[in-house]
């Protein structure tokens, strides 16, 4: 009998809604949820079927036998592995205190569970991967609007003009958003794209600025300059909701389009023509404030400028603009219950909240734990549980990370696949892949909020467990069962849904439950209370930044040109892989088995490198990797680009093993290179040397 299962994709963290058909415990059909996506799915989404059968993922708990990273594992039963981990945790707690544990995850709708575990254990040190992703954007939004980066959703479909700074949305896919953008373009809307290279997103653009790497902030400043000069801004909105607008006007005076054109390497008349378009299209112009902006030293300020541009448009809480997401409360409905435990009243080891007061205390900043590991200050960090998180892929310089992690007595990886970090850990607890597991119910906020849930489609192929069960079992053995009292997922769902009057059966029909029939919009004339800055207004000069001794309107500093013979190393996504997660997936591997190094045609010819030839890419300390060159006119000559996630070194992943090159391994010494104002890492501030490799043989002698 065919079974119909509505669930959520898990091939990337967008978690698109899906519909799965199952027959005899086999996935026979998988598509985007017809009610929400009309069937649409990406390549990765379909390749989930190959992950079910993939025997190159961990098949039972593993406990390390040899040295860290040596790859000698003992297969263990679950109870043995749980006992091993919890005995170690108890010992560490006794010796160093509960705060010596860090729990990290990628983030996402279920992080409440991981956080609860961490807090219940007695540690305030829950963290996620965001300091290598959206922290700069998040803090920029908080400083301007008082709400984080998820404090707005972008009504792209109804906008007239979408402006993207390096947000390569047709490679970093979010299908619902992609469909919206396509619909907008098909209706004659505009797309302006800014990047150091041409991308799939740029191909769809109506205007393209190829900028010198690291000059995004300059371009945003010139946009503000011209909009202010032409008085295009929404004065009514600004008078009502914005403070310190005058200071912005003074600050912006020197940043003319002519200046920016020179700085960014674009044409002044293009900037002016762009502003003409903005004048036609406003207020339905969305300046996307960035997603992954852990890039340049001033990315935080570039993101702030983008937020300010939205404010000037007056596009907040309008159709075709930035809409504040609504939750159950806005629909007059009770919310669901979630795992929770108050944060222990102990200073965080990463310094967030006491040393660094202007950052969001939620997940803190992951990279700042390395210092605590190395120095034992403010106190030792001795255990790390990484939930679906791979610091060695996400963060720069894994070699330096290893030296820090070596101060830990316990490293645990909970993941569906072998992560690079997992391979270095003491214990791997294999999570069932997303088609094999249930997850708790989650709220999806938005103009039309809903509840959604991931449901198991097939029984696990190997001896793996769902995440909720792993945390529950660990909690039981640590006497924390009060925080994880439920022994089945059905119990969890029932407890979560009880206040709402819904049951899990209500998700059967469509995979989600809508909390409202109509889009909910706040009254734009009384947004008071919705802007959560200290002053309750949109702050051009952020009092939080001022208190932290930081500028709100930071004068522009031109980024250094790379030294002769060197290039700025820039990385990004492809539509067919999710960072390091999917490189070993046989269907996706077939599409893209390795990455290449994009290099400008002119530069390549000077280096005597032709398309497809092998180049050596050399880091600051001489560490070297090899990769095939992709020679193209459509990348700025100051930088080279590669797709992130490759160059993996887990021998059991036979396809991904040493396929292509890893950008983060070339970022030697970059672990401490982060932005004191935005909190994000500066991942595009490293330089590499590129040369033609000796691996392009001229002759080959056989025998």
Residues that bind ligand SF4 (CB under 6 A): 9, 11-12, 14-16, 41-42, 44-45, 173-175
Nearest to 308 by CA among 234, 381, 376: 234
Q: Are 352 and 358 in contact (CB under 8 A)?
A: no
Phi first, then psi, for residue 458 (nearest 5°) are -130, 160
> Measured from the CB of residue 164, what is the shortest distance to ligand SF4 in angstroms?
17
> Measured from the CB of residue 203, what is the shortest distance to ligand SF4 in angstroms?
12
Is the CB of 45 or the CB of 679 nearer to ligand SF4?
45
Question: What tokens were used for 381?
Answer: 């960090």
Bridge partners of residue 165, in order along the sequence: 194
The crossing angle, in degrees rounded to 10, of helices 268-281 and 216-229 is 60
Q: Which helix (H) or strand (E) holds 287?
A: strand 285-287
Residue 14 binds which of other proteins, ligand SF4, none (CB < 5-8 A, kind-dependent): ligand SF4
Give yes or no for residue 629 binding other proteins (CB under 8 A). Answer: no
Q: Are 326 and 519 in contact (CB under 8 A)?
A: no
Nearest to 436 by CA among 455, 414, 460: 460
Give yes or no for residue 618 binding other proteins (CB under 8 A). Answer: no
Nearest to 94 by CA among 117, 72, 121: 121
Bridge partners of residue 597, in order along the sequence: 629
Is the CB of 50 or the CB of 607 nearer to other proteins?
50
- The stretch among 27-35, 79-87, 223-231, 533-541 that binds other proteins (CB under 8 A) is 27-35
Residue 185 binds which of other proteins, ligand SF4, none (CB < 5-8 A, kind-dependent): other proteins
What separation in angstroms does the CA of 80 have from each of 431, 471, 477, 628?
16, 15, 12, 45
Is the CB of 173 or the CB of 451 nearer to ligand SF4?
173
Is the CB of 183 or the CB of 254 nearer to other proteins?
183
Is the CB of 171 or the CB of 504 nearer to other proteins?
171
Is the CB of 63 or the CB of 171 nearer to other proteins?
171
Give yes or no for residue 198 binding other proteins (CB under 8 A). Answer: yes
Q: Are 588 and 577 in contact (CB under 8 A)?
A: yes
Would you give the DSSP letter of residue 595? -
Would you give the DSSP letter of residue 586? H
> Measured from the CB of residue 178, what is the shortest distance to ligand SF4 in angstroms?
8
Residues 538-557 that bind other proteins (CB under 8 A): none
Q: Of these, 63, 575, 620, 652, which contacts other proteins (CB under 8 A)?
A: 575
Give yes or no for residue 31 binding other proteins (CB under 8 A). Answer: yes
Q: Give me the sign of the Cα torsion angle 514, 516, 518, 521.
A: negative
Distance (Å, whole) CA 16 – CA 178: 12
Is the CB of 158 or the CB of 601 nearer to other proteins?
601
Give yes or no for residue 576 binding other proteins (CB under 8 A). Answer: yes
Is the CB of 92 or the CB of 656 nearer to ligand SF4?
656
How many residues contact other proteins, by CB under 8 A?
46
- Cis amide leading into 378 (omega within 30): yes
The residues near 605 (Cβ < 8 Å, ≥ 6 apart) are none
Q: How big is the chain by its Cα radius of gyration, in Å?
A: 25
- The stretch among 23-31, 333-341, 528-536, 564-572 that binds other proteins (CB under 8 A) is 23-31
Give yes or no for residue 170 binding other proteins (CB under 8 A). Answer: yes
Give yes or no for residue 566 binding other proteins (CB under 8 A). Answer: no
> Measured from the CB of residue 587, what is the shortest distance to other proteins in angstroms?
5
What 3-state DSSP class applies to 642?
Answer: strand
CA 311 from centre of chain: 24
The residues near 442 (Cβ < 8 Å, ≥ 6 apart) are 109, 110, 451, 452, 453
How many CB atoms are closer than 10 A to CB 294? 28
Residue 9 binds which of other proteins, ligand SF4, none (CB < 5-8 A, kind-dependent): ligand SF4
Residue 16 binds which of other proteins, ligand SF4, none (CB < 5-8 A, kind-dependent): ligand SF4
Is the CB of 128 or the CB of 178 nearer to ligand SF4?
178
Q: Of these, 111, 178, 393, 584, which contacts other proteins (CB under 8 A)?
A: 178
Q: Of these, 157, 204, 374, 448, which contacts other proteins (CB under 8 A)?
A: 204
Distance (Å, whole) CA 642 – CA 35: 36
Is the CB of 45 or the CB of 447 nearer to ligand SF4?
45
- The stretch among 25-33, 55-63, 348-356, 498-506 that binds other proteins (CB under 8 A) is 25-33
Residues 578-617 that bind other proteins (CB under 8 A): 586-588, 590-591
Distance (Å, whole) CA 665 – CA 5: 41
Give yes or no for residue 30 binding other proteins (CB under 8 A). Answer: yes
Strand arrangement, sheet containing 126-128: 73-75, 62-64, 427-430, 410-415, 383-387, 101-105, 126-128
Is the CB of 47 or the CB of 480 nearer to ligand SF4?
47
Q: Are 303 and 289 in contact (CB under 8 A)?
A: yes
Is the CB of 42 or the CB of 372 nearer to ligand SF4?
42
Would you give the DSSP letter of residue 628? E
What separation in angstroms does the CA of 72 have from each of 63, 391, 405, 418?
9, 21, 19, 14
Residue 576 binds which of other proteins, ligand SF4, none (CB < 5-8 A, kind-dependent): other proteins
Is the CB of 30 or the CB of 318 nearer to ligand SF4?
30
> Measured from the CB of residue 579, what is the shortest distance to ligand SF4 in angstroms?
11
Q: Of these, 32, 151, 422, 580, which contacts other proteins (CB under 8 A)?
A: 32
Footprint of other proteins (CB under 8 A): 29-32, 38-47, 49-50, 170-171, 173, 175, 178-179, 182, 185-186, 198, 200-208, 270, 575-576, 586-588, 590-591, 632-634
């Amino acid at each position: 009998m065919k079974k119909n299962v509505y669930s959520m994709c898990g091939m990337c963290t967008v978690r698109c809604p899906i519909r799965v058909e199952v027959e005899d415990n086999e996935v026979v059909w998988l598509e985007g949820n017809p009610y929400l996506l009309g069937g649409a799915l990406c390549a990765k989404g379909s390749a989930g079927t190959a992950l079910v059968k993939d025997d190159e993922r961990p098949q039972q708990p593993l406990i390390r036998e040899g040295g860290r990273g040596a790859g000698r594992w003992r297969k263990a039963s679950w109870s043995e592995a749980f006992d091993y981990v919890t005995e170690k945790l108890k010992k560490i707690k006794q010796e160093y205190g509960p705060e010596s544990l860090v729990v990290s995850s990628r983030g996402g709708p279920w992080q409440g569970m991981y956080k609860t575990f961490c807090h219940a254990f007695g540690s305030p040190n829950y963290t996620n991967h965001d300091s290598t992703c959206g922290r700069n954007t998040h803090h920029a939004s908080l400083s301007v609007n008082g709400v984080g980066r998820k404090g707005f959703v972008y009504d792209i479909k109804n906008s007239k003009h979408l402006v993207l700074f390096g947000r390569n949305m047709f490679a970093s896919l979010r299908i619902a958003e992609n469909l919206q953008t396509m619909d907008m373009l098909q209706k004659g809307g505009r797309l302006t794209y800014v990047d150091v290279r041409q991308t799939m997103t740029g191909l769809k653009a109506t205007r393209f600025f190829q900028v010198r790497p690291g000059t995004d902030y300059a371009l945003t400043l010139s946009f503000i300059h011209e909009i202010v000069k032409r008085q295009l801004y929404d004065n009514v909105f600004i008078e009502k909701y914005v403070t310190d607008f005058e200071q912005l006007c003074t600050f912006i005076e020197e940043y003319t389009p002519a200046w920016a054109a020179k700085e960014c390497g674009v044409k002044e008349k293009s900037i002016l023509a762009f502003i003409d378009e903005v004048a036609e299209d406003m207020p339905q112009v969305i300046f996307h404030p960035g997603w992954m902006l852990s890039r340049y030293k001033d990315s935080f300020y570039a993101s702030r400028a983008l937020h300010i541009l939205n404010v000037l448009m007056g596009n907040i809480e309008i159709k075709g603009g930035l809409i504040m997401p609504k939750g159950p409360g806005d629909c007059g409905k009770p919310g669901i219950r979630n795992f929770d435990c108050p944060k222990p009243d102990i200073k965080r080891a990463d310094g967030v909240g006491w040393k660094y007061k202007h950052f969001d205390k939620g997940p803190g900043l992951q990279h700042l734990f390395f210092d605590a590991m190395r120095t034992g200050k403010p106190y030792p960090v001795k255990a790390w549980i990484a939930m679906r998180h791979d610091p060695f892929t996400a963060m720069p310089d894994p070699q330096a990370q290893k030296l820090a992690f070596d101060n830990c007595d316990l490293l645990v990886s909970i993941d569906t696949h072998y992560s690079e970090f997992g391979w270095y850990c003491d214990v791997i607890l294999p999570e069932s892949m997303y088609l094999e597991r249930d997850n708790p119910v989650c709220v999806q906020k938005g103009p039309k909020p809903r509840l959604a849930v991931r449901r198991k489609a097939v029984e696990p192929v190997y001896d793996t467990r769902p995440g909720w069960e792993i945390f529950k079992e660990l909690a039981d053995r640590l006497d924390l069962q009060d925080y994880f009292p439920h022994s089945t997922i059905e119990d969890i769902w029932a407890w979560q849904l009880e206040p709402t009057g819904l049951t899990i059966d209500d998700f059967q029909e469509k995979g989600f439950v809508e909390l409202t029939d109509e889009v909910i919009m706040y009254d734009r004339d009384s947004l008071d209370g919705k802007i959560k800055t200290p002053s309750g207004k949109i702050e051009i000069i952020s009092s939080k930044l001022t208190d932290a001794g930081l500028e709100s309107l930071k004068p522009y500093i031109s980024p250094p040109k790379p030294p002769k013979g060197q290039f700025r190393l820039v990385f990004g996504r492809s539509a067919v892989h999710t960072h390091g997660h999917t490189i070993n997936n046989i269907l996706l591997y077939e599409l893209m088995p390795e990455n290449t190094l994009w290099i400008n045609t002119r530069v390549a010819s000077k280096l005597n490198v032709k398309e497809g030839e092998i180049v050596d890419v050399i880091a600051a300390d001489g560490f070297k990797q090899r990769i095939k060159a992709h020679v193209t006119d459509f990348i700025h000559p100051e930088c080279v680009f590669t797709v992130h996630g490759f160059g993996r070194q887990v021998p059991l992943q036979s396809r991904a093993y040493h396929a292509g090159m890893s950008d983060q391994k070339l970022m030697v010494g970059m672990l401490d290179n982060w932005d004191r104002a935005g909190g994000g890492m500066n991942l595009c501030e490293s330089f590499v040397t590129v040369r033609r490799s000796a691996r392009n043989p001229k002759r080959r002698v056989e025998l």
